Amino acid sequence: MRLVTLFIEKGLAVWRVCEHHFIPAYAWQGDPLTFWRERIVFLICFTAGTLGMIALIPSVVLAVRESLWIVAFLDAMAYLTTVAILFGRRLPFILRAWGVCIILYALGTGLMLSLGPLGAGYIWLFGASVMAAALLGVKAAVGSLLINLCILVGTGFFIAGGAPLWSQPFDHMVEKWSVMSINFMLINVLITVTTALMLGDLKQTLMQTRQDIAKRKTVEASLRVSERRFRTLVAHAPLGIITIDNDGAISDANPKFIEMFGFPSLKAALALNLFRSHRLALTKFIEQLDDGLVGGIAGTYEGAYETSWGKSVYLRYMLTPLMDTTGSIYAVLGIFDDITQSRIQEEQLRRAQKMEALGLLAGGVAHDLNNVLSGIVSYPELLLLDLPADSPLRDPILTIQQAGQRAAEIVQDLLTLARRGVVTVAVLDLNQLISEYLDSPEFEKLLSFHPAVRIESRLQASLLNLSGSGIHLKKTIMNLVSNAAEAQPRGGRILITTENRYVDRLIEGYDNVAEGDYVVLRVEDKGIGIPPEDLKRIFEPFYTKKVMGRSGTGLGMAVVWATVQDHKGYIDVHSVKGEGTTFELYFPATRQEPDSSRAALPMDGYLGRGQTILIVDDVKEQRMIASGILKRLNYCPVCVGDGAAAVAYLSTRMVDLVLLDMVMDPGPDGLDTYRRICEIHPGQPAIIASGFSETDRVREAIELVVAQYVKKPYTVETIGLAVKAALR
């Protein structure tokens, strides 16, 4: 049995090798019908070529012995033609197929004429027509039937002429042949035409199937390309994209969504079911999801959500129902955009715009108030210089002066709020500023109001310096400490710390702190804390939970914010209601050394030697105050009311110094006036004076003068120091 199996396997292997050798290559790649037609031709020719020799030799010998030379010739030619067709695979298929049919016709015709119904001629004719139908189609089948009909009719005439010897022993042979031919043709037509039509339809079906398969492959390839393109877009999209099925489970998610919500992996995200977990935290989102899954409603929403690591993010997202071919909703597509940063920036912009609007109002009021306060601050100082120490008027005048100075401080707060208070800066040691505040009368007064509050400081020894305004920074320290004390009405502790800090990546907080070196001021209390709804508004002017007028002006924290902004710094605030508040102020650090401060001089040190000083101011009271102080300091003042008058005066005269008000209306301002003065007297020494100074023209004037700057209201000390420095 094993030998039989082995023989069959070897035979099949040889057969497959012969098929690949003799069947043309195109047939293996063509449609199945074409392949089987080639295979039929190969099968006929290969079988006839290999086994036909066994039948050919005795057939030829017998035909020669019976003197049937035509039969012997036909048998030999049929065999040789079959072998030629087998090895002629490069010939067109139609020639090889017709060659097979012609061989069958030749054999059938020869046998029919030689042996009549006694031979196998009609079988070969029948096979020829069926083979034509199978190999060449309907037209060839019809042609083969006509050929068969002609052969049968011709044979009938042959019989009627009495030529064939095989017809002589039979009576009525023509009638018998006619009946036999009619029956043969009927069966031949039926089978041949049926075969041709069936194979024709099969070919059309195969061709249509082949086209459908090709189209399907094209569509599938396009779908694969489209799917790859879609998955690439989804995978690299800057938006988080998920699908949520009807059960509330996340069925797919892209990398951005996983990153956005802090999932450790895609598997962790797919394990989340929104209906079974986090239902309370996602109540609003689940309602929106139900609108999509049940109602088929698409919508765009916004909301704050918490990531897996506890960070709050603000999202804008779109939920769109997905439907199958029946119109049933099977999932919801969610597209998420993290707009946390844009919301923060919008809030910061809104806050800055509000502060700017309030600052413009405050700045305008402060400018006018400074002019009004000049007389209240400056004249008492001059009066006190002339009064004896035991004069009964000294205390009332001193009270007026202190009230004026307090009002001037409020005006200074308004200027700081208006971002018009920091013009000249110096390199400062923040530790020194804190120490000076802790030794100041303001601090002693604070302790007297809050005796139960303990204040500690931890100042870094090697603290870097910063560039800024000492006055504004001291005011910032004072406001923060005062706020911390008032947040602890029953007593507690305030901790003031300083440190160097390098920020190597963006810190997200109340302000987003950029990368860089900073000097950080930290003021921490354990007080009542600030509610979240108030935390966003604590730096707004006049926004306070305290009684206005009793605990301050309502400008303290607004001044802190404006000062930090003027110093290009950042604020971060952390507060928990009932646990306390921590303020961290980031100031850009510098490695320059602090400037040496100008020490106050004794009164004799401010006195001049009768130098002429031109006072240029559009306000008469300001000219009178400045003139009074300069006369008291032994200078010779000359006053004019505007820039044009100053230029006209200096066109024919020279002075030692010009005291020039920056803001004058109408007419040229201080900068234009000084430029015209320099055209007449290049390098003319000057002092710039202003109630506030924030505009670019003020800064340009200070740089152009390269001299002194004094802020109104005037004092003997500020005027005296500035004049001494300008005339030096």
Residue ranges, comma separated, of all CATH 3.30.565.10 domains in the chain are: 422-590
- Residue 416 binned pLDDT confidence (cut-offs 50, 70, 90): low
What's residue 548's pLDDT? Answer: 45
Average pLDDT over residues 521-536: 86
Helix (H) / strand (E) containing 147:
helix 138-160
In 10 A of CB 616, how many CB atoms?
A: 28
What's residue 718's pLDDT? Answer: 85
CA angle 43, 49, 54 (to 5 degrees): 120
Q: Is residue 657 helix, strand or coil?
A: strand
Average pLDDT over residues 218-234: 86
Residue ranges, comma separated, of all CATH 3.30.450.20 domains in the chain are: 237-338
Q: What is the pTM of this model?
A: 0.49
What's residue 529's pLDDT? Answer: 87
pLDDT of 596 > 50? The answer is yes
**β-strands 580-590, 570-576 pairing:** antiparallel
- Residue 342 binned pLDDT confidence (cut-offs 50, 70, 90): confident
Give which of 411, 494, 409, 408 is closest to 446, Cα–Cα: 494
Which residues have CB under 8 Å from 333's CB, separation 6+?
A: 241, 242, 243, 319, 320, 321, 322
In 10 A of CB 146, how many CB atoms?
A: 11
CATH number of 422-590: 3.30.70.120, 3.30.565.10, 1.10.630.10, 3.30.360.10?
3.30.565.10
- The answer for 247, left when phi > 0, alpha when psi is -120 to 50, beta otherwise, is alpha
Residue range 627-680, pLDDT digits in tens: 998 998 999 999 999 999 999 999 999 999 999 988 887 788 888 898 899 889
Most confident option among 69-78, 157-166, 619-628 = 619-628
What's residue 648's pLDDT? Answer: 92
308, 259 in Cβ contact below 8 A? no
CATH no. for 237-338 = 3.30.450.20
Residue ranges, comma separated, of all CATH 3.40.50.2300 domains in the chain are: 604-727
Distance between CA 567 and CA 591 in Å, rounded?
16
pLDDT of 459 > 70? The answer is yes
How many helices (H) and strands (E) the chain has is answered by 23, 17
Percentage of the chain with pLDDT > 70? 76
pLDDT of 496 > 90? The answer is yes
266, 243 in Cβ contact below 8 A? no
pLDDT of 497 > 90? The answer is yes
Tell me the CA distances in angstroms from 467 to 425, 564, 593, 686, one per residue in order.
Answer: 6, 12, 10, 25
What's residue 161's pLDDT? Answer: 61
- Residue 43 binned pLDDT confidence (cut-offs 50, 70, 90): confident
What's residue 659's pLDDT? Answer: 93
Give which of 650, 713, 708 is closest to 679, Cα–Cα: 650
Residue range 670-723, pLDDT digits in tens: 888 988 998 899 888 898 888 765 456 666 766 665 557 787 888 888 888 889
Distance between CA 499 and CA 561 in Å, rounded?
20
CA angle 452, 458, 460 (to 5 degrees): 165
Give me the architecture of the 604-727 domain, per CATH: 3-Layer(aba) Sandwich (3.40)
Here the tokens at position 702 are 């200070």
- Residue 586 binned pLDDT confidence (cut-offs 50, 70, 90): very high
Average pLDDT over residues 18-42: 71
What's residue 583's pLDDT? Answer: 93
Question: Who has greater pLDDT, 380 or 113?
Answer: 380
pLDDT of 221 > 80? The answer is yes
Question: Who has greater pLDDT, 82 or 492?
Answer: 492
Average pLDDT over residues 106-119: 69
Tell me the CA distances in angstroms from 42 to 35, 472, 600, one per residue in order.
Answer: 10, 106, 123
User: What angle, 0 to 180 degrees and rounded to 10, lies between the N-to-C axes of helices 32-65 and 93-115?
Assistant: 30
- Residue 280 binned pLDDT confidence (cut-offs 50, 70, 90): very low
Average pLDDT over residues 168-193: 59
Distance between CA 373 and CA 388 in Å, rounded?
25
Residue range 125-149, pLDDT digits in tens: 777 777 777 777 777 777 777 887 7
Tell me the CA distances in angstroms from 412 to 367, 369, 436, 475, 493, one per residue in order.
Answer: 10, 10, 20, 10, 30
